[in-house]
Copies of this chain bind each other. A is one copy, B any other.
Amino acid sequence: MSEEFHPPASATLHPDRLLPADPATRAIARRLLAAVRALPIISPHGHTDARWFATDEPFRDPASLLITPDHYLTRMLYSQGVALEALGVQPAGEQGPPPDPRSIWHTFAAHYHLFRGTPSRVWLDWVLTEVFGTDTPLTAANAERTYRHISEQLATPAFRPRALFDRFGIEVLATTESPLDSLAHHAAIRASGWPGRVITAYRPDPLVDPQTPGFVHNLARFAEITDTDTFTWRGYLTAHRARRADFVTAGATSTDHGHPSARTADLDPHAAEALFERVVHGARSGTLSSVEAETFRAQMLTEMARMSLDDGLVLQIHPGACRDHNTPLARRLGANIGADIPTPTQYVEALRPLLTRFGNEPTLTLIVFTLDESTYSRELAPLAGHYPALKLGPAWWFHDSPEGLMRFREQTTETAGFYNTVGFNDDTRAFLSIPARHDAARRVDCAFLARLVAEHRLPEGEAVQVACDLAYHLPKRAYRL
């Protein structure tokens, strides 16, 4: 039946999508976009699966590729009464029969209207149109036809991970791994002869956050992997240093830290050692206090910055999410099922200990993100507009959307400038959406710049240069790629 599928003439995206409506401003934005739309994609921070590129196996089906793992999608349907199980989210530990991907697809298609006005709609329309050439919008009526068409294409060589990587024009793609990960997939990629640059990033949260389930067990595994006594402070730090070196070998240029807050600490070595001992003991005995855990995470950011001065890894802080807010759901389905909620986050006092210690270091790069947009103009832009080590990560997670990206530029540029920002992060596990997200981010930046030009705040020639810097040069430089 697939040969009968004829994408209608309407299955194209409007070339001016996301550009301002005013004709003069749009004309400028089009010219800026022409300068950046074909630039290679730098994806310095994300969560795709290195296995895809190691094995290059075909993606299994449209639902497990596009829907089930995408929290943006499943949370919206859940909020409107659709059970997560009906979207393929499996109860924790359960090994039931795999859910039927066709049924998931149909359920999703019937709720596509929920995404009107959301970035998911922008990205999905791009994927459906540009990658698969199907009708958009997805509807209950075209769901079956679309499902078959995508399924058939996924079975072809052109839709395997490496082929898509090349087709998408990705120059470098970073995944994120725990120090406990073997990095075997990255080794396999390098050994394969395929020239695609897929690198890792060092995400030590399971070893740095004593409130992680299994923290003590993780320390023990860390000891095995590094052949070090990770239950002493000195050994623990040594193990991090060793493992960071392994990650550098696997291409890493950055570390990443997803803490509940942005708090940092700069204890003297004895106090830090005593805290570590207390943390280990407390985690073992179940007597760890929240304050101890928070202080340890805070201290570890400073320790990581200290190591970065030696090994050159860029340090990223992604704070401010309340993880697994929906306790009953977490109990039934496990962690990370789309119930994380941003919280008010403060940076001025939180970052001060780390910045006092290392903020003036010209060779350190510390990239800070936020889920609390009220900090853009109040705290983050002023901090980044002063400290040499500090750069602003782009609009993140709930805010990496057309409106969110625009607010980021509107609220940070006047104080931090463009050159204390680091371009775009797609930060996604939805591989196929990566070019869609970069496309959207480039369009929003061009829209912002076009307004500056139209309002005679920036000559167009300079705007072109900024657009290219934001799309390509700044992320390369900031992430040392």
Contact = CB atoms under 8 A, between A and B. Distances in A.
A164 interface: no
Given A19-B455, A22-B22, A414-B403, A137 B378 contact: no
A154 to B, nearest CB: 27
A117 B348 contact: no
Interface stretch (A270-278, A291-299, A368-376): A368-376
Contact of A328 (B360, B373, B381, B402): B360
Among all A-B residue pairs, the 8 with the closest Cβ atoms: A14-B456, A21-B454, A17-B456, A401-B414, A117-B413, A374-B374, A21-B25, A341-B382
A51 interface: no
Given A114-B419, A117-B417, A117-B418, A456 B24 contact: no
A16 B456 contact: yes
A24 B340 CA distance: 39
Contacts of A103: none
A417 B114 contact: yes
B341 A78 contact: no
A52 interface: no
A329 interface: yes
A187 interface: no
Contact of A326 (B329, B342, B356, B452): B356
Interface stretch (A191-199, A383-391, A426-434): A383-391
5 contacts: A21-B455, A23-B24, A121-B457, A322-B348, A401-B415
A457 B117 contact: yes
Per assembly, the copies of the chain total 3
Interface stretch (A201-209, A235-243, A301-309, A458-466): A458-466
Interface in A129-174: 137
A139 to B, nearest CB: 11
A322 B379 CA distance: 10
A176 interface: no
A21 B454 CA distance: 6
Nearest to A329: B360
A360 B356 CA distance: 44
Tell me which of A78, A377, A387, A390 has the highest count of chain B C-beta atoms within 10 A of its own C-beta.
A377
Interface in A327-374: 327-329, 338-344, 346, 348-349, 352, 355-356, 359-360, 362, 371-374
B359 A415 contact: no
A378 B419 CA distance: 26
A47 interface: no
